Amino acid sequence: FPYTTLFRSGTEMITVEVKGHGQFDVEEGSSLLDLAKEVSPENYRQFLGAVSSQQIKPLSDPIKKPMKLAFLDISSPWGYRIYTKTVSAIFVMACESLYPGRKVKLNHFLGSGLYAELDKDVVIGHRMIEKITDRMREIVEADIPIVKERWETEKIIAHAKMKGYDETAELYETSSRTW
């Protein structure tokens, strides 16, 4: 195996075995994204997440102990799922920035496409699609980090109501599951 070190002074080093790439020594607390950049400096953006101990991990996760992992790209089912969820979030961000006050509803995927609505009274035409596409590209180019947050159910409900997503709020209100 090739053996590489990702090092910032003063911290314990941890060995990570990356499937198909060998072993890497990384500083404790380095993120999986830091490791991805070390594994594939020119093509690290192909990695959408990782799987370790049968758990899917976001690239923002810190490395806390020695592990074996495989990076996920769009060719794997889990990588594709991460990709579609990310594109959906970027689509919503683009629509909300271009059309403030409008409600975006993501219904479902049709093949490789996404069926979505922007309020019921809005007809989405070619010019609008171009503007949304351009805004999505700007968001991607801005390289805004995606931060996964865990919210209390009450906060989710309040946020959904504030955004006008009453059906979503009702779904959480009637669920017995704690989020």
pTM over 0.85: no
Tens of pLDDT, residues 79-120? 999 998 899 999 999 999 999 888 888 887 777 777 888 886
88: nearest Cα among 75, 101, 102, 106: 106
- What confidence tens digit (pLDDT) does each residue in 37-86 have? 999 999 999 999 999 999 999 999 999 999 999 999 999 999 999 998 89
Nearest to 47 by CA among 22, 10, 72: 72
